[in-house]
Amino acid sequence: MIILEDISLRRGAKLLMQGASATLQPGQKIALIGANGTGKSSLFALLMGHLSSDSGDIRGMSSLRVAHMAQELESSDETALNFVLGGDAEVFRLTQEIAKVEAAENYERAAYLYQELETVDGYSAPRRAEQLLLGLGFNQTELNNAVTDFSGGWRVRLNLARALMTPSDVLLLDEPTNHLDLDTMLWLQLWLMRYDGTLVMISHDRDFIDAICERTLSLEQGQLVSYRGGYSDFELQRAERMAQQQAQVARQQREREHIEDFVRRFRAKASKAKQAQSRIKALERMETVAPAHADSPFYFQFPEPGKSSDPLLSIDEMTLGYGEETVLSHVSFSLHPGDRIGLLGKNGAGKSTLLKGLTGVLPAQSGRRVSGAHLRIGYFDQQQLEVLDLEASPLLHLQRLRPNAREQVIFDFLGGFNFKGERAKEVIGPFSGGEKARLALAMVVWQDPNVLILDEPTNHLDLEMRHALAMALQGYTGAIVLVSHDRHLLRHVTESLWLVDSGSITEYPGDLASYEKWVLSGDQTAKSDNKKSSSAASKPSKSTAPVGGRQQTTAALRVQLKPLQKALQKTEKTLEALQVKLVALRSELADPTVYEADQQARLAALVKDEAEAQTELEKAEELWMEQQDAIEQASA
C-alpha cells in the first residue's frame, strides 16, 4: 500500500499541490489526470524519489520495485534488443559478468552465475525483450539496429519497451500511447491489463483509460480527487459533483443545445448503419456529461464550409509511394461533402501516405488526382508543428493567413484555444508541444476548409482539448478523413471505416469495437474475409441493408412481419415516453433555483433520474435498431 499524506509542492512561484492525499492499493490500475501544468509529472517524480515535497509524507514506496518510462530520448550505439534487455538490470548485470568470467576462464564462478541467471528467469529474457519489441511495432530485422538509427517516435517506443521489461511492483507510465498507432496501442492495452503490479498512468486517451483503469485520480485545484472507474465514470461522477457545487447553467445549456441541435440534424439524414447509429448514441451520452467540461478553457467551432463542389476530390487508379517503393496501388474513390471516414490499419500500412496523396503533398507515381472547383483542404499532421515560426506569436501566425482580419476577431478566436490576453502575443519558441499542437489546429480551423484531412490530431493534446476538438468536429459539415489512435475521437466523428492493408484500401464492414476484437485476436482469416467482402475501387457504401433473400408470398410475409412490427410499435412508445421524461427532467435542471444551497438533495435526485432515463433511452434505441434490422431482413 502506498500512502500520500497531506502533500504540498511548489515549483518556482506556482503551487501545484496543497494538502493532497491518496492511498494506492496493491495491484490497482490508476489513471492520473488533470489539465496540463497541474503537477501530474511532478507527482511521478515524487513517487520515484526524484523530487521532495515541501510538506507531507509518502509511505510504502521504499520496499517496492518501481519501473517508469523515461522521457529523455537515448542516443546510444547499442542495439534495440540490448537496450530493452537493459531494463532488467539484474539479468543485464549477470550476463555482463558471465561474459567477463568466461573470458577469464573462471568456469566455477561462471557456473554459479548461470544458476543465479536461472533464478531470475534470465534465460527467457532475450525472448521476452524480443516479444515486447515486436508487440510495439518493430520488425524482426530492426532488433539489431542501433538505437541512434531510430527516429524520435521510435525511441519513445524503445523507452516504453525498456520500462515494460523492468521487473516491478509499481509501474509509472507518462503518456505511453504517444507515437503509437491504434493496432500497437491495442497490444499495449492487453499487456497492461495482464500486468499484476500497481499501475499509475498519465494518459490523454480516454478509451485506453476506460479499458485498463479501475480508478481515476484527478488533480484539481491542488488536491487529489479520487473517482471510481475509468475516464467515462469520472465524467459522470464529476458532472454530478460539479452540478451540486455550483450553478453553471449558462455554459451547460450552451453545450446541451449544441449537442441536441447536431443530433437532430444528424438523425434526420443518417442511415441505420451500425457505425452511424453508434455515433448517435455516443453523441447523446455526451449531453449527460457536459457539466464535467463546463470549466474547460477550450471552446471553438468550425465555420460553415461555404460553396463546395460534389465530388470535392476524386482519385483514379492512384499509386503512391516513395522513390521506387510502392506503398498503395490502384486506389480509386471520390470524396463527397459530409463524408466522415476513419482510416484503420497497422503502422506502416500506408494511412499517412494516403493522406499525403489526397492533399497533393505526395505526388502520385501513377493515376490521377482531380480537385473539385471549390476544394479547400485543411491538413494537419505532426510535421505542421515543425514548420511553425518559433519567433512569431499565435496572433502573427493567424494574421499571415488572413491579413485583413481584425485583430480583436483573431484574439477572440485564439481565446477558444486558450491563447488568451498576452499569451496570444508571445513568441511560441518556449511553448509546450501541446500548445504548439493547439496553434497548428487553430490555423487549420482559421482557413475555413471544406475538407479536413487529419493525421493523429490528438497527439500532445490534453483530455479537455480532445473533448473540445471532438465537439467541434461533430458540428463540422464538410468532409473528414481521419487517422487517429484515439478511439473516442474515431467513434464520435466518423461514419465509415476504411482498412489500409497490403497496399490496398477496403471498406471495413464492422464498427470500431469489432476491429479492436479482430486486432487483439490476430485472426488472419477474418482479415482475408474482410477484404473479400469489400471493394477498393469505389466509395464505401453507407448502407448495410441486406440484399436478396428467398421469395415469399405477400400473405406469408405479412404473417411473419406482424409480431415484429407489433414489438417495434411497443418500443417506439417506450422511446416517446422516455424522451418526454428527459425533456421534463432537463427543464427542471435548467431552472437556476435548483442549484441553490438548500436544493442539493433535489438536484442530486434530478441528476440521478436524468442519467437513469438516458441509460434507458439508449437501451430502447438499441432495441429499436435491432427490431428494424429484423424487419428489413425478413422483408428481403
Rounded to whole angstroms, how far apart are CA atoms 163 and 155? 12
Q: What local confidence, expressed as pLDDT, does residue 294 receive?
A: 52
DSSP 3-state of 537: coil
Query: Selecting from 3.50.50.60, 3.40.50.2300, 3.30.360.10, 3.40.50.300, what CATH number does the domain 313-521 have?
Result: 3.40.50.300
- Residue 597 has which C-alpha cell? 444551497
pLDDT (tens digit per residue) in 204-219: 899 999 999 999 999 9
- What's the confidence (pLDDT) of residue 80? 93
* Secondary structure letter of residue 146 according to DSSP: B
The continuous run of DSSP H or E covering 437 comes out as helix 433-446
Cα separation, 424 vs 411, in Å, equals 7
User: Fold for domain 558-634?
Assistant: Helix Hairpins (1.10.287)
Quote the CA–CA distance of 247 and 570 in Å, as a whole number. Answer: 38
Helix axis angle, 600-635 to 274-289, nearest 10°: 170
The domain spans of the chain are: 237-284, 313-521, 558-634
**Residue that is written with C-alpha cell 490523454 in the block:** 204
pLDDT digits (tens, 9 = 90+) for 400-444: 999 999 999 999 889 888 888 898 999 999 887 788 888 999 999
CB within 8 Å of 534: residues ≥ 6 apart:
499, 506, 507, 508, 509, 540
Contact between 607 and 243 under an 8 Å Cβ cutoff? The reply is yes
CA 23 to chain CA centroid, Å, is 28
pLDDT above 70 as % of the chain: 82
Parallel/antiparallel/unpaired status of strands 366-371 and 223-228: unpaired
pLDDT of the residue at 536: 33
Ranges of the chain with pLDDT below 70: 241-300, 522-559, 561-562, 576, 587, 632, 634-636
Q: Give per-residue pLDDT as tens, 353-405.
A: 999 999 999 999 999 999 988 899 999 998 888 889 999 999 999 999 999 99
Taking residue 508's Cβ as centre, other Cβ atoms within 10 Å add up to 25
15-20 contacts at long range (C-beta below 8 A, 24 or more positions apart): 15/222, 16/42, 16/222, 17/42, 17/43, 17/53, 17/219, 17/222, 17/223, 17/224, 18/222, 18/223, 19/56, 19/222, 19/223, 20/56, 20/219, 20/222, 20/223, 20/224
